Chains A and B, each alone.
Chain A
Amino acid sequence: MQTVLNLILNPQYLILVYFSFIGVLFSLIVSFLPALHIYNVLGILMLLVFHLEVALPPMHLIALCIGMIVGYSIFNTVPASFFGPGDESMSYYVLPSADWLEKGRGYESVILTAIGSLGGIVIMAILAPLFIKIVPILKTVTGPHLFWILGAVIAYAILSEWPKGLSYSSSRLTNFLEGWKYLGIGLLTFFLASILGFIVMNKTLVPVDFAFQSITPVFVGLFAIPWLITNIINIGKVPKQHIPETVEIDWALVYQGSFSGFLGGFFAAFMPIVTAGIGGLLSSHATAQRDNRLFILSYGTCKTVYYVGSFLLFFIPGVYLTRGGLASIVSPVMFATGYREYFLFVAIMVFSAGISFLMLMPFTKACIRLVEKVNYKWVSIVTLVLLIPAVFKFTGFGGLAIMAVATGIGLMPVLFQARRMNLMAVLLVPVCVSMAGYGNHVLRFLGLI
């Protein structure tokens, strides 16, 4: 008992609790502002750490990052529900959530997602010792096959989109064109995003000093600015929301949703480039989800396992698996060390999830009050006015050009009713083609070599 108390009350570890709490608070602020993604904020934090040579011991920085990523993975449901989706991983969730919002059940939807997130954290904490054995084997087994697995994911993402058009014309051609109109927009989005991906991944159009965040203007353009524009041109209002004392769910649904979400989230975390949106789509189809409550809950698990799990994989001793945006950002300065640090990671993760869940309820209520009283359009206009100069400041004219083109592509699925998931072709296609060994052929065809 004394050993345990010594371990828990050791100031060396208590300071990690402090840093993870700061990280959770950071993520709360990030989630409140539209269009800000935690990866962009972490990029700016890294800039400060490098430029100002802030002396932050590695484990403190790791605790801060864990707090931020765990907090963000739980809080970001709130802006996605009440202010619009932020990235591809969020937009997948929005359809059932928007339906609940219309019925005044937005708060319930957020809490269900958070229960799913907690489920994901608990599963990861339980499986953490097992990951040490399983992940190296998975890495070795899947290593030579990644390109075709990614190819299969791409094929599934495209083929699983159904025609939306409804035409009862006597002309077959009219019916055919109506059916293919939305699919065509999806395919066009996919194609254009792929070309953009080949350009930005093989030419540095931003200053070398900001190369570690060279993908930022792409994602700001593909997801953040279309989100802000949609908020600005949107004339609809969020209906009055009901804040219930309990949520309508039973343990069977919690187990079922968490399991399904974990499958999708872990797949997304383990596979390069695959995001929670894609992982969630695959797992929900694989487990044949029908219930909206189940979908919302499993989505919460999926995105938390994706965001946090991909960072957790980075710390598995001896594996050194760089997956997800956060691991890529911090890999120059952090690296996996030993079992002690790995299990400290797990402990901080559990603590951050608990704190985030407790903060989520007042945060959601505050956001509901905000959207009822303040026209959120003005917050979006101010953010847009600040965002564009910020991108220019860090990435110059090259970054602005990338952001403008990405905005055009990012608006297409929003305005023409196609899947936003097609936008992920910006990373999926170049990486998959390069892994298959044909990257240079495409680059030569495009004149980029």
Chain B
Amino acid sequence: MTKNNKTKQDELYYSETHCPSCARFVGTNTRCPYCQADTQKRLSIRVFKAISVFLSTVGLLALLFYAQRIEAPIVKIGDLKELSNFGHVRIEGVVTYGTGTLNQWGSLSLTISEPAGRGGKLNDLRVTAYSNVAKELQEQGKLPVTGDRVVVEGQVRIQRKEASLLLNAPEHLTILERAPEAKLGVQPLTMTLQDITPAYLGREITVSGVVKSLATFNFGNVYRLDDASAEGFPVLLETKAIKGSMEKLPEQGDVLTVTGFLVKYQDSLEIKTDKPNSFTVKGNRTFLRAE
């Protein structure tokens, strides 16, 4: 392109990207990196520089001020959908599984529920807290137990279409009301397997039964007790309960007596315990646990 057919825009581009002193290309630099001469920049760049500084400092402070003052929205467990993933919400409910202790990794895991309409069916949500938060809750005496009415705030995680909530600060757990059982020191209910119904969800109960089958997982062992059904009634002895107990591990045909909390697992009921010495075993087919 010759100098004669250069447009005004070309000239402007040249004057703003080349040093007026040494004529070398300086790009967006306001000072020539070769001879240190100041270069002219058009108004639009200067305006956007001012906007950038304003938004990134004053704007950020205003956003921080606003964020400090807003509370996470309260939502129903049943309203949590795939699109709520990563949302920061508050949920009010009753703890249907909470032992008041930390698990073997020092973290906290509990289940909270809320009634879902007339059917009385419960909407459940697993709430977890990493060990640093769980330890702070323990120090503050705020570990929830079954029956407590609580408000928890945290980040929603939905994986494999299952929702859970990550409690990320001890301040985000409020115990609205302690469980009546916790206040009165109610003893576990002793029941037969046939008497167990969803009405006892969250209660600590003691049952006995013959081990029909067993399955071993990395989080514990699941024993199915004979309750005249095809599958048997599931009892989960978590690893912490197994390792902390001096009792022999049950085998098929043994009579297992266990005290644990009645919880929901997927769509069925289950007795779950992580307390050492919460189970006893009777029967001929027992073997010493390998240490």
**Separation in Å of the A250 CB from the closest CB of chain B?**
31
Docked Cα-Cα span, A440 to B84, in Å, equals 23
Contacts A439-B168, A440-B133, A449-B169 given; indicate if A211 touches B56 (C-beta within 8 A). no
**Which residues on the B side are within 8 Å of A208 (C-beta)?**
73, 75, 84, 87, 89
- By beta carbon, the residue of chain A nearest B80 is A208
List A188-221 residues whose CB lies under 8 Å from chain B: 189, 192, 195-196, 199, 202-205, 208-212, 214-215
* A417 vs B33: C-alpha distance when bound (angstroms): 13
- Does B89 contact A332, Cβ atoms closer than 8 Å? no
Q: Are A196 and B52 in contact (CB under 8 A)?
A: no
Among the listed B49, B56, B81, B168, which residue makes an inter-chain contact with A440, where contact means beta carbons less than 8 Å apart? B168
Inter-subunit contact B28/A415 (CB<8 Å) = yes
Known: A164-B33, A408-B52. 18 other contacts (CB 8 A): A47-B83, A165-B33, A195-B60, A209-B81, A212-B84, A235-B42, A328-B86, A332-B85, A335-B160, A401-B63, A401-B66, A405-B59, A408-B54, A440-B132, A443-B169, A446-B64, A448-B67, A448-B68
Q: Mark B149-184, 1 if CB is under 8 A from A, else 0.
A: 000000010111100000011011000000000000
What is the CA–CA distance of A229 and B158 in the complex, to the nearest angstrom? 36
> Which residue of chain A has the shortest Cβ distance to B73 in the bound complex?
A208
Which residues of chain A (77-108) have a CB below 8 Å from chain B?
Answer: none
Interface centre among A203, A210, A331, A335 (most CB of B within 10 A): A203
Q: Which of B58-117 contact A (CB under 8 A)?
A: 59-60, 62-64, 66-68, 70, 72-73, 75, 81-89
A69: CB under 8 A from chain B? no
- Contact sample, A vs B, 24 pairs, CB 8 Å cutoff: A46-B83, A166-B34, A195-B64, A196-B60, A204-B89, A205-B70, A209-B81, A211-B84, A212-B82, A212-B85, A215-B86, A229-B48, A235-B9, A236-B17, A322-B159, A331-B158, A332-B160, A404-B59, A408-B52, A411-B55, A412-B56, A415-B49, A416-B49, A443-B169
Nearest neighbor of B85 in chain A, beta-carbon distance: A212
Total count of chain A residues near the partner, CB < 8 A: 56
Query: Considering the chains assembled together, what is the distance between the CA atoms of A209 and B82 in angstroms?
Result: 9
The verdict on B12 contacting chain A, using a C-beta distance below 8 Å, is: yes
* B51 CB contact (under 8 Å) in A203, A236, A411, A449: A411
- Residues facing A in B22-59 (CB within 8 A) are 28-29, 33-34, 36, 42, 44-45, 48-49, 51-57, 59
Is A292 an interface position by the 8 A CB rule?
no
- Judge whether B45 and A415 touch: CB under 8 Å: yes
Given A167-B36, A204-B88, verify A233-B83 contact (CB < 8 Å). no
Task: Report A406-424 CB contacts with B as 1/0, cut-off 8 Å.
Answer: 0111011001110000000
For the complex, what is the distance from the CA of A229 to the CA of B55, rounded to whole Å? 15
Q: Which residues of A contact B82 (CB under 8 A)?
A: 46, 50, 212, 332-333
Residue B265 is within 8 A (CB to CB) of chain A in the complex: no
Residues of A within 8 A of B (CB): 46-47, 50, 164-168, 189, 192, 195-196, 199, 202-205, 208-212, 214-215, 229, 233, 235-237, 322, 328, 331-333, 335, 401-402, 404-405, 407-409, 411-412, 415-417, 434, 437, 439-440, 443, 446-449
User: Is A417 a contact of B63 with CB atoms below 8 Å?
Assistant: no
B43 closest partner in A (C-beta): A233
CB-CB < 8 A to A168: which residues of B?
A: 36
Chain A contacts of B55 at CB under 8 A? 404-405, 407-409, 411
Quick check: B159 and A449 within 8 Å, CB to CB?
no
Contact of B85 among A233, A331, A448 (CB under 8 A): A331
Taken together as a complex, chains A and B put the C-alpha atoms of A443 and B88 apart, in Å, by 14
Q: Which partner residue on chain B sits nearest A401 by CB separation?
A: B63
Q: Is B86 a contact partner of A205 (Cβ separation < 8 A)?
A: no
Q: Is there contact, CB below 8 Å, between A192 and B60?
A: yes
Output the least CB separation between A61 and chain B (Å). Answer: 12
Interface status of B219 (Cβ within 8 A of chain A): no
Separation of A204 and B17 alpha carbons in the complex (Å):
43
Chain A residues whose C-beta falls within 8 Å of the C-beta of B28 in the assembled complex: 415, 417
Residues 1-29 of B contacting A (Cβ, < 8 Å): 9, 12-13, 16-17, 28-29
In the complex, the 4 A-B pairs of residues with the closest C-beta atoms, listed nearest first = A408-B55, A211-B87, A408-B56, A411-B52
Nearest B residue to A234 via CB reads B13
Contact A202 B12 (CB under 8 A): no
Q: How far is the CA of A448 from the CA of B88 in the complex (A)?
A: 12
In the assembly, what is the distance between CA of A327 and CA of B145, in Å?
Answer: 35
Distance from A185 Cβ to chain B, minimum over Cβ atoms (Å) = 10
B67 touches A415 (CB 8 A): no
Given contacts A209-B84, A210-B83, A235-B9, contact A447 B68 (CB under 8 A): yes
Assembly CA distance A50 to B28 (angstroms)? 46
Query: Does B86 contact A212, Cβ atoms closer than 8 Å?
Result: yes
Q: Nearest CB to that of B170 among chain A residues? A: A440
Contact with A along B125-158 (1 / 0, CB 8 A): 0000000110000000000000000000000101
**A415 touching B89, Cβ below 8 Å:** no
Q: How far is the CB of A67 from chain B (nearest CB, A)?
A: 22
Q: Which residues of B lie under 8 Å from residue A402 when comparing CB positions?
A: 63
- Per the bound structure, the CA–CA distance linking A401 and B70 in Å amounts to 14
A333 touches B60 (CB 8 A): no
